[in-house]
Amino acid sequence: MKLKNLSEKITKSFKSSGFTLSEPAVLLDSEYIIQRSGENFKRLMITFKDDDGTDMCLRPDLTVASCINYLKGKAESKIYYSGQAYRRSGSSKGKLINEQLGIEIFGSKNKLQDDFMVIKTIIGAVKKVKSKKITVKVGDISLFKKLIKSLEMPERWKLRLIRHFWRPVYFEELLKRLEKNSDIDQVAFDIDSKKFDEMKKMNKDKIIASRTIQEILTRFNKKIKDPRSFNEGKKIVNIIRSFLKIDCSLSELDQSLLFFIKKNNLKKNIFEDLKSIKNLKKLNQKIKFNTNFGREIEYYTGIVFEIYVDSKEVARGGRYDDLLKSLGAKKNLQAVGAAINLNNII
């Protein structure tokens, strides 16, 4: 199916669901995007300097570009768009230009209704052009935050884990540090431990840098044990790892979470707000739920999802209730949206 015909069928589906056209800018201030949308965009963006020396970029993401349009008063609260996103890929085979058709609901007033509408509309649009097997994968970023806030550990650790959840590699490093009950860097921790063991074999009265070996050992010992640490790090990490392994069908979600809660002696009500996820049962689609899903986009705050046609991802989206404020809104404005990647449908 040619790209033009494909786009027309999808946009017709969006219009029939009450979405109006918005045309976000192609060129954006790159520093503005990085500061407000997260460092993750920095490695993706295609940047250059304009005639005034300002760092500019081709829009790497149509959601962010559409948010900016909305805040400038150039878009309605329920919009659709058609255009290109320009972003680098970690793969040599990845495309720099992604053809996208998407929808957004800004100032979302009914979380349950709007989450469902976005996913249903996207699935309906995909079905207009693809009649093959469609499956849906969902997660909810807010569940991780609720878990972390319920656990008994220092507040600084809660903030770190929540803040860096979207960075899987660094997040894993944090877990390793927490597991060893150390607030210091893992590499530094290992080096200090090695030096400590070596110096224990030396003459304790020997002077190095105006200090005796014994004085240095005392300092090392204090640093390694870290007086700011606590003794439940390993237990907390086991709980977090166990949570991130939950992978089940939507129909099994209640049972899986209940088993997790009982096994780890957690409060029964920490995951009480699952209405948006459970409401997806009305779609009559094969839906898989995964707690470790949707972490790579920093601005997501709630439900996240991907739609597949014969195991190939064709669309993705989610809820982002903090993004509009970070882009300049006076207060948090709830929002949810999704986009179809035409490159994967053609």
pLDDT of residue 98: 83
pLDDT of residue 31: 79
pLDDT of residue 251: 92
Tens of each residue's pLDDT in the chain, 346 residues: 577 788 888 999 999 999 999 999 998 888 777 766 556 667 778 888 888 888 888 888 899 899 999 999 988 899 999 998 887 766 556 678 888 999 999 998 899 999 999 999 999 999 888 767 889 999 999 999 999 999 998 888 898 899 899 888 899 999 998 988 766 555 555 666 777 777 788 888 777 755 678 877 776 665 555 445 567 889 999 999 999 999 999 999 999 999 999 999 998 889 877 888 999 999 988 899 999 998 878 889 999 999 999 888 999 999 999 889 888 888 889 999 999 998 888 7
Domains of the chain: 1-129+341-346 (3.30.930.10), 153-238 (no CATH)
How far is residue 54's CA from residue 56's CA, in Å, rounded to a whole number? 6
pLDDT of residue 209: 53
pTM for the model: 0.80
pLDDT of residue 129: 81
pLDDT of residue 227: 44
pLDDT of residue 155: 86
pLDDT of residue 213: 80
